[in-house]
Amino acid sequence: MKPSLFDLTGKVAIITGSARGIGKSIAQGLASVGTKVVVADIKATEAEKTAQIIQEAGGEAIAIPTDVRNRQDCLHLIEQTVAHYHRLDIMVCNAGIDIIKPAADLEELEWDNIINVNLKGYFHCAQQAAQQMIEQGTGGSIIMNSSIGGVVGISGSAAYTASKGGVNLLVRSLALEWADRQIRVNAFAPGYIDNIMEGTETFRRSPQEDRQHLSAVIPMQRRGKPEELIGPVIFLASEAASYVTGAILMVDGGYSAM
């Protein structure tokens, strides 16, 4: 029988920012389809816990503390992954932060921190991953977590939307550069997800206000769940997407269709 197009058995994947939230769900989802997972996160203790959860569920995972703002950390992440698993097939650039604040009040260090994590960190990890994939001669899949904020403006998130718009064009540029090396570069772009991103913990509407807002802007009239991003990532990582590169896959309940 022909293997499933979505089968990732034996593939090695790094997921940055995967100690919690969306990244944790993606790491667990990839492990559930046979992927050997590297949980990369600046929060070392939480990363170890996530790796342990995956192991206890029958999956294979290790944790590597990583600050994606630091180029040497990204290099160390790739080196340690290859030292342990001997290859790299999938890089999911997911680590992200936001600071919800009027643009007129945003401080330079706040702007720099968001751009350094959400855009510069993505480039560091993608570049190092691609170099390893080129050395292997096997190709691979690089997947970035974009956002509806990469295609529409969001009041109070100037730096975040700028970073995600940058991610979208980074995806397209890298896809063109590395297509002849059989490295596919794509992004999934979540809409409103039931997930509290780092830097947004203190900003949340009341349940009633949230329902009213979602009903007005999302055709499906609800937030997505972190686990609803697993399928899109598996698709982009797998042979099912073998002819897909430079794409931004919207996963937003119809938000961007309005």
**10-residue averages of pLDDT along the chain (258 residues):** 81 98 98 97 98 98 98 98 98 96 97 98 98 97 98 94 98 98 98 73 60 82 94 98 98 93
End-to-end, the C-alpha distance of the chain in Å comes to 42
CA distance 254 to 258: 7
pLDDT at 214: 79
Catalytic residues: 160
Query: How many other CB atoms are there within 10 angstroms of residue 124's CB atom?
Result: 24
Q: How far is CA 83 from CA 41, 43, 57, in A?
A: 18, 22, 24
pTM, rounded to two decimals: 0.94
Domains of the chain: 12-251 (3.40.50.720)
* Tokens (6 digits) for 195: 């997930």
pLDDT at 1: 40
CA distance 144 to 56: 27
Long-range contact list for 121-125, CB < 8 A, 24+ apart? 121/16, 121/68, 121/69, 121/74, 121/93, 121/95, 122/68, 122/93, 122/167, 122/170, 123/170, 124/68, 124/70, 124/71, 124/74, 125/14, 125/16, 125/68, 125/74, 125/77, 125/91, 125/93
Which of 180, 176, 75 minimizes the C-alpha distance to 132?
A: 75
Helix ranges, 141-243 (H):
158-178, 207-217, 230-237
10 Å CB burial of residue 86 (0-12, 13-18, 19+) is exposed
pLDDT at 199: 54
pLDDT at 213: 74
pLDDT at 3: 66
Number of H helices, E strands in the chain: 8, 7
CA distance 28 to 167: 24
